[in-house]
Amino acid sequence: IRTVSVTGSGIGVLGDTKTLNLDKVTVKIRNKTETQYQTNDLTRSAVITTYTANNATRLPGSIVYSLSQIINDPAAVDAHYYAGVVYDYYKTKFGRNGIDNGNMTIKSTVHYSRNYVNAFWNGSQMVYGDGDGVNSLALSGGLDIIAHEMTHGVDEYEADLIYKDQSGALNESFSDCFGTFIEYFAQKNKFDWEMGEDVWTPKIANDALRSLQDPTKYGDPAHMNDYNYTTSDNGGVHTNCGIPNKACYLIATSSGMTIEKTEQIYYRALVNYLTQSSDFKAAKEALIQSAVDLYGVNSVEANAVKAAFEAVGIY
């Protein structure tokens, strides 16, 4: 087979047209040849490949392709395009070479299972359900969700926070925070401090899965006094993340602070200071130390981190 990188396009989950980097492959099928345009992006230092599970659950499934340069699969269009956006964010902002910092292939699978209203990082790749059209649209339609999942991959090669109780809630919070930072980086016109809003409940406006600005809007705690001691969801990792999420919002919106400074502090903590068993207090110390490294002892930035964590009850 021969392959060459070409530009194609497709309509995304929200009906917008996106330009895609495709791989033009001439394959031999029995005694004839067929030209396929595959969702295999060879334009970056890390290959980005998008698969379909065809509504089954075997991973990764088969590479999405078209016989023309138009990819007629909205979920695949967005998964392919947004994975590139997230790669570019980590490269541009921190000089990071993708998920493992070694340009490993970035794999996404769409059309996972049937009416699957969720998404996940399975330790090796991103996986997205189609939603059920009521609770959600196809989940790859949300850049903040794709950024959330790919950040789980980055965490795995860095702090590798244990996915349980406080370290698990931190794991979730870092994915929500970077999901928000990446939305700001790529979609400033529709930036918000909520998660999944673009695909969540298409019939209901102004709602989302979680809010970093006001976690209580969706029933999540915003203070240690309301920590949810539970055994479900690995110790409530998707609800207790509201506490560090609120701290992140307070840091970024403190006077003298910007999202650009906040994301540098968060990335440095994730890479240099956090470990598998880090709890909320350890995260506060890691983030303060990162701010000190970057902006100085007793700096406005370091004090903003300290004050934000104390405001959510972490001393």
Ligand X SMILES: O=C(O)[C@H](CCc1ccccc1)CC1(C(=O)N[C@@H](Cc2c[nH]c3ccccc23)C(=O)O)CCCC1
Q: Which residue is nearest to ligand X (CB)?
A: 120
> Is residue 266 close enough to count as binding Ca ion by CB under 5 A?
no
- Return left, alpha or beta for 311; rule: phi > 0 is left, psi -120 to 50 is alpha, else beta: alpha
Residue corresponding to tokens 């956006």: 85
Kindly tell me which residue out of 40, 125, 175, 211 binds Zn ion, with binding defined by CB under 5 A. 175
- Residues near 211 by Cβ (< 8 Å), separated by ≥ 6? 193, 194, 195, 217, 218, 220, 245
Kindly tell me which residue out of 96, 107, 148, 284 binds ligand X, with binding defined by CB under 6 A. 148
Q: Which two tokens stand for residue 182?
A: 């990446």
Distance of alpha carbon 106 from alpha carbon 311, whole angstroms: 38
Kindly tell me which residue out of 117, 222, 287, 288 binds ligand X, with binding defined by CB under 6 A. 117
> Catalytic residue at 156?
no
Distance of alpha carbon 121 from alpha carbon 199, whole angstroms: 18
Which is closer to Ca ion, CB of 199 or CB of 237? Answer: 199
Q: Please, what is the angle between helix 242-252 and helix 280-295, to 10°?
A: 20
Distance of alpha carbon 144 from alpha carbon 257, whole angstroms: 22
> Catalytic residue at 260?
no
- Residues near 165 by Cβ (< 8 Å), separated by ≥ 6? 234, 235, 237, 240, 279
Which of Ca ion, Zn ion, ligand X, none does 220 bind, CB closer than 5 to 8 A by kind? none
Do residues 12 and 77 touch, judged by C-beta distance below 8 A? Answer: yes
> Is residue 201 close enough to count as binding Ca ion by CB under 5 A?
yes
Residues 19 to 58: which contact ligand X by CB under 6 A? none
Kindly tell me which residue out of 16, 34, 132, 207 binds Ca ion, with binding defined by CB under 5 A. 207
Residues 150 to 189: which contact ligand X by CB under 6 A? 152, 172
Residue 8: how many CB atoms within 10 A of its CB?
21
Which is closer to Zn ion, CB of 37 or CB of 200? Answer: 200
Which is closer to ligand X, CB of 23 or CB of 197? Answer: 197
Among 238, 263, 285, 301, the active-site one is 238
Which of Ca ion, ligand X, Zn ion, none does 204 bind, CB closer than 5 to 8 A by kind? Ca ion
Kindly tell me which residue out of 196, 235, 236, 244 binds ligand X, with binding defined by CB under 6 A. 196
Which is closer to Ca ion, CB of 190 or CB of 281? Answer: 190
User: Catalytic residue positions?
Assistant: 149, 238
**Which residues of this chain interact with ligand X, rule CB under 6 A?**
117-120, 145, 148-149, 152, 172, 196, 209, 238
